[in-house]
């Protein structure tokens, strides 16, 4: 055991020899020494591999994860329009938001780049993209519903939101008939008109919460539906908790005409989606959520990502 | 003793009192820390005044009713009192409504003013300052959306189960009711001894009036301390947004004040200015303490000593009026009703005006004896029949109340004096 070029290597070697002797491995014959050296080298190679290479897809990796590693990029499907505080452009024009930052973090932990596919014109189109396998994951303030769960796999929720209601005060007074009805019962009558956007999850919520109310369709929330509530054309507009709170902060002058409510007992679970053939990716994301995503609620989100216009 | 009273007579001079007022305002604005430290002094003075109120009310009502029942022709007097009171309630309501219609406080509110009010409405009661909170949280076992039955509640509220409990809580409506019942009962007793009992009550009454008169020497100081502490920063922007509303209330109070003074002057045979001067003490107390109740003893004193109206009648009318017929609150309700109708763009036709007129009088009576925070919810009596939302209204009413409370108390006190002047006979002697 002489003539070695490296001091460190000799230290390792001597420790290795001592270790073998302690384990009772006999090093006197050259064959045994050679075999031991081969084992050691293989072990070293395997251990040090991740340090110098990209993750190399192998048959060990399930389809979804393998695809990502092969491509070297995580394709995240996301709704086309900005939606504060999940994905938006801040005052400096930077693309930010909870979903955006989380997607970037996931990609970093996987050791790949991230690409945001924002072709989807509706939230259901985000689900379509993922279902067809054109995106690896959908992270877009997606509500977990049974209907969607037949087409994609949902992770556990990373955020729980309450359902928010924007209510026209005068219309509410008109509805208040007898004194023995709770507020929800008052809304759940054919005289109550609810603004919804067909094809969104809030349409489902409206049917679940207020089955007897009259539903009217509006092309979008932020302009036409909101204005309808303010003007009294409809009694109630349903939206999510963050949207409601942002509305209160952005349009304080409307508080004279509208009041706001949160339905405490009806939850909207926000989760990520992956294609049906990527259960391993789904499990990976679940572990990620367990370990790296804190307890979230609407207020925390809005504090960390204030709406861009609120800065003026 | 006379020399002492003479020595300090200057303290009762109206200019000295006004100086005290001015000092209070100056201190409040320029030396807020000092005002805060000295605030207990003002509160103490007010407590001393309030201390006399309940004994005076009980003894005044018992003796006056008892004696009135012993006299003949008092039935007519009582009927006239009630008639004038109710008439005045309607006049006060109409005056408030008229001012609201003239000044249009709720119509054409600028978007900025609406934003201020809106921000106030959404932030009141919430603890989180960075993120807005929703107004209502709907839970699974949601409470029933009940509308209280006001008439029943009012009647239940008026009759005490335990008189001593009412006394210890200071529930003025219940105390009044009890005093009326006792006074009537004593007055209808056949014994001769009842006159002695009523005289004894009268002695207690006179004693407390004496206490009040002594306290008037301290009025400039008490006033200064009270006012200085009340220079609170009422959100200046909310005040601006509700500026026309405040103006309507002030205008209504002023018009009624002038009309009432004219009536008092005519009835008492004095000049217009003297009519005001005699009442300066109760009016100033009402203004600075925002409480017509605290001004009651002084008002009785002024009407009987200053104008020489019959004390028996005065002693009944003023406590009755201050407790049950509060013109100030009534005016505010009337203005609020019109204000909210304008704010929500409700068309105001004859039906609506009549509705506001009657509901505000009713709410004014229903608010008997209770502090503003409680009576604010009675605003729904006026807003519900109009189909207007009351939650926002009640919140705004409470918020803007500190700005109008002094003149409302002034109107209540002055109104009672006006009614007294119109109903009570003048003392024939001297």
Q: Are the CB atoms for B388 and B289 separated by under 8 Å?
A: no
Rounded to an integer, the average pLDDT of A118-147 is 92
Q: Most A CBs within 10 Å: which of B132, B345, B385, as the mutation test of the A interface?
A: B132
Could you tell me if A312 lies within 8 Å of chain B, comparing CB atoms? Answer: no
**Quick check: A299 pLDDT over 80?**
yes
pLDDT of residue A130: 94
DSSP state of A265: E
pLDDT of residue A77: 95
pLDDT of residue B145: 55
| A51: Cβ contacts below 8 Å, ≥ 6 apart | none
- Rounded CA gap, B48 and A32, in Å? 107
**Quick check: B233 pLDDT over 50?**
no
Rounded to an integer, the average pLDDT of B203-210 is 87
Express each pLDDT in B92-132 by its tens digit: 999 999 999 998 888 877 888 888 888 888 776 556 667 77
Residue among B118, B121, B128 whose CB faces A299 most closely = B128
Q: Do A260 and B111 touch (CB under 8 A)?
A: no
Q: CB atoms < 10 A from the CB of A45, how many?
A: 9
- Rounded CA gap, A9 and A104, in Å? 40
Q: Most A CBs within 10 Å: which of B124, B129, B134, as the mutation test of the A interface?
A: B134
Of the given ranges (A1-5, A202-206, B423-427), which has the lowest mean pLDDT? A1-5
Rounded to an integer, the average pLDDT of B326-339 is 91
Q: Most A CBs within 10 Å: which of B105, B111, B131, as the mutation test of the A interface?
A: B131
**Quick check: A7 pLDDT over 60?**
yes
User: Chain B residue with minimal CA distance to A169?
Assistant: B389
At residue B308, φ and ψ (nearest 5 deg) are 65, 40
Identify all chain B residues contacting A263, using CB atoms and an 8 Å cutoff: 138
Query: Treating both helix axes as pointing N-terminal to C-terminal, what angle do B243-268 and B390-423 enclose, rounded to 10 degrees?
Result: 10
Q: B126: closest CA among B116, B137, B138, B112?
A: B137
pLDDT of residue A311: 39
**Quick check: A282 pLDDT over 90?**
yes
Identify all chain B residues contacting A265, using CB atoms and an 8 Å cutoff: 138-140
Rounded to an integer, the average pLDDT of A253-257 is 87
Most confident of A280-284, B32-36, B41-45, B130-134: A280-284
Is the complex ipTM higher than 0.85? no
**Quick check: B224 pLDDT over 90?**
no
pLDDT of residue A1: 44
**Quick check: A18 pLDDT over 60?**
yes
User: Chain A residue with minimal CA distance to B145?
Assistant: A182
Helix (H) or strand (E) holding A67: helix A63-71
Identify all chain B residues contacting A208, using CB atoms and an 8 Å cutoff: none
Of the given ranges (A25-39, A136-150, A205-219, B345-359), which has the lowest mean pLDDT? A25-39
pLDDT of residue B64: 85
Rounded to an integer, the average pLDDT of B189-195 is 79
Q: How far is the alpha carbon of B113 from chain A, nearest alpha carbon, in Å? A: 8
**DSSP 3-state assignment of A86?**
coil
Of the given ranges (A47-51, A241-245, B224-228), which has the lowest mean pLDDT? A47-51
Q: What is the DSSP string of B284-347?
A: HHHHHHT-HHHHHHHHHHIIIIIS-B-HHHHHHHHHHHHHH--HHHHHHHHHHHHHHHHHTT--
Identify all chain A residues contacting B143, using CB atoms and an 8 Å cutoff: 182
State both tokens at B270: 């004095």
**A-contacting residues in B 335-354 (Cβ below 8 Å):** 343-344
Express each pLDDT in B337-385 by its tens digit: 999 999 888 888 888 899 899 989 888 888 876 776 677 878 888 888 8
Q: How confident is the model at residue B2 (pLDDT cuts 50, 70, 90)?
A: low
CB burial of residue A94 (10 Å; 0-12, 13-18, 19+): exposed
Greater confidence (A274 vs B370) lies with: A274
Rounded to an integer, the average pLDDT of B32-51 is 80
Q: How far is the alpha carbon of B409 from chain A, nearest alpha carbon, in Å? A: 29
CA A189 to chain CA mean position, Å: 35
Contact pairs from chain A to chain B, CB under 8 Å: 109
Burial A66-75, CB ≥16 within 10 A → b, else e: bbbbeeebbb
Q: Do A173 and B387 touch (CB under 8 A)?
A: yes
Q: What is the DSSP string of B218-237?
A: GHHHHHHHHHHHT-----HH
What is the residue-averaged pLDDT of chain B?
82
Q: B289: closest CA among B411, B163, B406?
A: B406
Question: Residue A168: beta bridge partners?
Answer: A258
**DSSP 3-state assignment of A89?**
strand
Q: Most A CBs within 10 Å: which of B145, B147, B237, as the mutation test of the A interface?
A: B145
pLDDT of residue A142: 93
Helix (H) or strand (E) holding A51: helix A30-52
Global pTM reads 0.74
Express each pLDDT in B137-189 by its tens digit: 888 766 655 556 666 777 787 888 888 888 888 777 888 888 889 888 888 88
pLDDT of residue B384: 84
pLDDT of residue B143: 62
pLDDT of residue A191: 86
Rounded to an integer, the average pLDDT of B203-226 is 83
At residue A264, φ and ψ (nearest 5 deg) are -70, -30
Q: How confident is the model at residue A310 (pLDDT cuts 50, 70, 90)?
A: very low
User: Chain B residue with minimal CA distance to A184?
Assistant: B138
pLDDT of residue B430: 43
Q: How far is the alpha carbon of B120 from chain A, nearest alpha carbon, in Å? A: 9
């Amino acid at each position: 055991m002489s003539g070695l070029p490296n001091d460190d290597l000799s230290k390792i070697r001597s420790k290795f020899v001592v270790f073998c002797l302690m384990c009772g491995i006999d090093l006197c014959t050259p064959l045994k020494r050679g075999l031991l050296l081969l084992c050691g080298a293989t072990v070293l190679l395997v251990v040090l591999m991740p340090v110098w290479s990209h993750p190399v897809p192998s048959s060990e990796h399930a389809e979804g994860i393998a695809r990502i590693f092969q491509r070297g990029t995580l394709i995240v499907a996301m709704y086309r329009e900005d939606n504060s505080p999940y994905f938006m452009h801040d005052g400096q024009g930077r693309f930010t938001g909870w979903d955006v930052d989380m997607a970037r973090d996931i990609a970093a932990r996987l050791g790949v780049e991230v690409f945001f596919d924002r072709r989807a014109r509706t939230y259901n189109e985000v689900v379509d993209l993922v279902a067809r396998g054109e995106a690896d994951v959908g992270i877009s303030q997606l509500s977990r519903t049974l209907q969607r769960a037949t087409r994609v796999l949902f992770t556990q929720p990373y955020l729980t939101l309450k359902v928010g209601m924007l209510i026209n005060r005068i219309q509410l007074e008109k509805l208040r008939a007898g004194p023995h009805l709770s507020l929800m019962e008052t809304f759940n009558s054919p005289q109550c008109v609810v603004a919804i956007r067909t094809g969104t999850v809030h349409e489902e919520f409206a049917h679940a919460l207020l089955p007897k109310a009259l539903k009217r369709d509006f092309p979008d929330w932020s302009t036409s539906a909101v204005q309808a509530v303010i003007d009294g054309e409809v009694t109630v507009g349903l939206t999510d908790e963050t949207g409601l709170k942002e509305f209160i902060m952005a349009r304080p002058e409307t508080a004279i005409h509208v009041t706001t409510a949160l339905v405490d007992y009806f939850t909207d679970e926000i989760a990520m989606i992956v294609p049906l053939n990527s259960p391993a990716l789904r499990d990976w994301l679940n572990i990620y959520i367990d370990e790296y995503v804190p307890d979230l609620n609407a207020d925390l989100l809005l504090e960390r990502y204030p709406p861009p216009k609120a800065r003026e | 003793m006379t020399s002492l009273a003479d020595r300090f007579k200057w303290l009762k001079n109206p200019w000295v009192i006004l100086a005290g007022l001015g000092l209070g305002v100056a201190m409040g604005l320029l030396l807020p820390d000092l005002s805060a430290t000295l605030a207990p002094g003002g509160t103490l003075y007010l407590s001393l005044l309030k201390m006399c109120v309940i004994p005076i009310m009980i003894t005044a009502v018992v003796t006056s009713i008892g004696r009135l029942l012993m006299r003949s022709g008092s039935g007519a007097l009582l009927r006239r009192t009630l008639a004038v009171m109710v008439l005045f309630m309607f006049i006060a309501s109409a005056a408030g409504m008229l001012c609201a219609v003239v000044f249009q406080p709720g119509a054409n509110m600028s978007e900025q003013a609406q934003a201020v009010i809106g921000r106030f409405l959404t932030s009141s009661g919430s603890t989180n300052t960075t993120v807005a909170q929703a107004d209502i949280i709907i839970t699974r076992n949601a409470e029933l959306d009940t509308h209280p039955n006001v008439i029943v509640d009012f009647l239940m509220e008026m009759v005490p189960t335990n008189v001593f409990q009412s006394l210890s809580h200071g529930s003025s409506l219940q105390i009044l009711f009890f005093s009326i019942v006792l006074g009537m009962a004593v007055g209808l007793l056949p014994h001769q001894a009842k006159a002695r009992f009523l005289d004894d009550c009268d002695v207690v009454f006179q004693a407390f009036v004496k206490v009040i008169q002594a306290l008037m020497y301290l009025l400039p100081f008490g006033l200064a301390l009270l006012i200085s502490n009340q220079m609170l920063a009422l959100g200046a922007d909310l005040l601006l947004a509700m500026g026309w509303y405040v103006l309507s209330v002030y205008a209504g109070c002023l018009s009624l004040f002038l009309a009432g003074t004219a009536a008092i002057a005519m009835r008492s045979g004095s000049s217009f200015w003297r009519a005001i001067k005699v009442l300066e003490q109760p009016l100033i107390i009402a203004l600075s303490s925002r409480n017509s109740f605290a001004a009651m003893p002084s008002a009785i004193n002024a009407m009987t000593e200053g104008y020489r109206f019959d004390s028996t009648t005065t002693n009944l009318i003023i406590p009755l009026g201050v407790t049950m017929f509060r013109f100030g609150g009534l005016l505010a309700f009337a203005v609020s009703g019109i204000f909210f109708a304008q704010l929500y763009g409700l068309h105001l036709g004859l039906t609506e005006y009549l509705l506001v007129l009657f509901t505000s009088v009713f709410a004014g009576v229903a608010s008997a004896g209770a502090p503003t925070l409680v009576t604010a919810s009675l605003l729904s009596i006026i807003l519900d029949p109009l189909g207007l939302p009351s939650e926002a209204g009640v919140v705004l009413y409470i918020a803007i109340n500190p700005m109008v409370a002094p003149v409302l108390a002034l109107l209540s006190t002055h109104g009672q004096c006006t009614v007294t002047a119109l109903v009570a006979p003048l003392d024939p002697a001297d």
